Amino acid sequence: MLSKYLDVREDVLAAIEKGEAVVALESTIISHGMPYPQNVETALQCEKLISDRGAVPATIGIIKGRLKVGLTVEEIEYMGKEAGIVKVSRRDLPFVVAREGDGATTVAATMIIAALAGIKVFATGGIGGVHRGAQETFDISADLQELANTNVAVVCAGAKSILDIALTLEYLETHGVPVVGYRTDEFPAFYTRKSGYGVDYRVDSAEELAQAIKSKWELNLKGGVVVANPIPEKDELDYDLINKAIDEAILEAEEKGIKGKETTPFLLAKVKDITEGESLTANIELVYNNSRVAADLAVALARLK
């Protein structure tokens, strides 16, 4: 039945069937997260970093209604250059597939497709979360609900600092999603290593993390794991500068009436302008860092099997 919808690249399928290390990557960062050509260059470099550490990279996207697990170089280039590629979360998947459309997968959609293919580890930039002012708007990313239900470990640099981090962590706690600090006691805030909030558990090696994740799923404790991996110290932005930029961007979004899934791309673009491009550089470096850690985790999980 799944073959009706799913195309898994040959080397990715072989690795999955053999129980080898595979790391999923999203495509929203290609189509909506960065300008061309940095988006394509970043995606290909993430794949290289994962390969260099002994895992098979599988960038996920939707092309002509097919769920693609392991985009080719040509397909990544297409996702990076083509205008009008839809941003796809859980609710959008059946419609984009039925209409044979092109879609860039968010964290939630990437988790779903990765799980369908049998991939357990996913590297991204930052997870979505509870937006500021959600008490009135109820604007909560579908990423959080997916983390509560789908057995995929998500390696990220925390939640994007445009969000309400306190409420995001409360939501994850309510739904039993472990928030694990990778070599950190503090939950990172995407562009910065600090947020003022702690993590549930700290782990200092991929092996320790793999054992905990394996135990979780063998105990039939449904849902994912947030692996919070801070941006490297040399690449982080000034905490006060980035928060000032975010406050300015949020105010402008409110004035322009920008809401829903258009909010995050708008805010990230504004922060990039306000920081004179420094946020884009930081974004790229943190994604590379997450790719390395995800590869190490996937390798460690494969060894446990």
Own/partner long-range contacts of 4-7 (Cβ < 8 Å, ≥24 apart): 5/66, 5/67, 5/97, 6/66, 6/67, 6/69, 6/113, 6/116, 6/117, 7/66, 7/67, 7/68, 7/69
Tell me the β-bridge partners of 198.
Answer: 186
**Catalytic: 87?**
no
The angle that helices 278-304 and 263-274 make with each other, rounded to 10 degrees, is 120
The catalytic residue among 160, 261, 270, 272 is 160
Hey, CA dihedral for 272, 143, 153, 177, is it positive or negative? positive
d(CA 111, CA 122): 7
Q: Is the peptide bond before 37 cis (omega within 30 degrees of 0)?
A: yes
d(CA 235, CA 5): 40
**Catalytic: 26?**
yes
Strand 201-203 with 6-8, pairing:
unpaired
- Where in the sequence numbering do the catalytic residues fall? 26, 160
